[in-house]
Amino acid sequence: MLERIDRTGGAAFAAVVLGCAGPQSSLEPAGRSAEGLSQLFWWMSAGAFVIWAVVTALAVYAAYLSRRPRGAKRVEALVIGGGAVFPTIVLAGLLVHSLSMLPEVLAHAPRGSQVIEVVGEQYWWRVRYLDGGRAIDTANEIHLPVGAPVELRLSSPDVIHSFWVPSLGGKVDMIPGRRTRLRLDPSRTGTFRGVCAEYCGASHAWMAFAVVVEERDAYERWLASQAGPAASPSGAREVRGAELFLANGCGACHTVRGTGADGTIGPDLTHVGSRGTIGAGRFANRASNMRRFIARPGELKPGVHMPAFAMLTDRDLDALAAYLGSLR
């Protein structure tokens, strides 16, 4: 931590003190509009500080330093100048500065940019890459190429969510019956955390996702692998897990492309093993967590629509977790 403070100086120090550094910080921007918002924050803070300092100085001066009675003219000038003119000028300047950022924040990504549809579900993120004529479905993890604008089309089937990746840009609501959009321009690689920023139900706080910004080659490789069908189960345990997956009706809600599972109620699991988390950012993607989640999703994530499969034996849960983990 100290090394970090040394390296990046005062702004980062303030961010650390405020608990605002890391993969989910609008004060450590990794995208163009986030950079603008971060600057705006510091300008607003500076403006607020200047007003606070002047008002405090005047109060101290009036209360302690100058006991002489003042003429009515001087008092009037002080009240109008310090109480109306000065804050009006500072606030108007900040307003003009912030409004001037709007056109860029609201701009569409240029034609030919990657379009990604993101649907807010209770409580996870349905993600669809529109790539030429094809649609590539995934969930709860978004990959973006560094240095290229992308257009996100945001919607929700039932309740209002809000899509927010603080490191990359502003937040935009996902509203039933409407389509909103957001342009992101990632400027450096890394894995950033996105969240739902609008209260949407019991597991609102467990509705997160990862945004992986990577070099163009790595991104293209990822997209090509996501477009393909699921890997065939290899070991005996994975084969057993695949059988259990279909026998227990998991395919009624989840799709695993290339198998009989074609449900669309829950997240697409074709490449679930490649994701960093399960349960929309709830847990690290490990077999032990997958087992727990399959057995008791509602205890770990209140309000989740997935039923519990606590009747399965430990061996069966192991096999299911192994199978899902192998879907990379």
Positions touching ligand CUA (CB under 6 A) are: 120, 123, 161, 196, 198-200, 204, 207
Q: Where are the beta strands (DSSP E) in 277-328?
A: 277-278, 283-284
Residue number with CB closer to ligand CUA (180 or 248): 180
Instruction: Yes or no: say if 16 and 22 are a contact pair by the CB < 8 Å rule.
Output: no
Instruction: State the DSSP H helix or E strand holding residue 76, giving kind and residue range, or none if neither.
Output: helix 72-80
The alpha carbon dihedral of 50, 55, 56, 58 has a sign of: positive
CA quadruple 58, 61, 64, 67: dihedral, nearest 10: -110
Query: Shortest distance, CB of residue 116 to ligand CUA, whole angstroms?
Result: 18
Query: Shortest distance, CB of residue 28 to ligand CUA, whole angstroms?
Result: 23
Residue number with CB closer to ligand CUA (48 or 202): 202
Residue number with CB closer to ligand CUA (141 or 316): 141
Residue number with CB closer to ligand CUA (206 or 219): 206
Instruction: Yes or no: say if 137 and 262 are a contact pair by the CB < 8 Å rule.
Output: no
Q: Which two tokens stand for residue 312?
A: 């399965």
Query: Shortest distance, CB of residue 99 to ligand CUA, whole angstroms?
Result: 29
Query: Shortest distance, CB of residue 297 to ligand CUA, whole angstroms?
Result: 17
Query: Shortest distance, CB of residue 27 to ligand CUA, whole angstroms?
Result: 22
Between helix 86-99 and helix 32-60 the angle, nearest 10°, is 180
Query: Shortest distance, CB of residue 41 to ligand CUA, whole angstroms?
Result: 23
Question: Which class for 327: exposed (0-12), middle (13-18), buried (19 or more C-beta within 10 A)?
Answer: buried
- Distance CA(146)–CA(220), nearest Å, equals 11
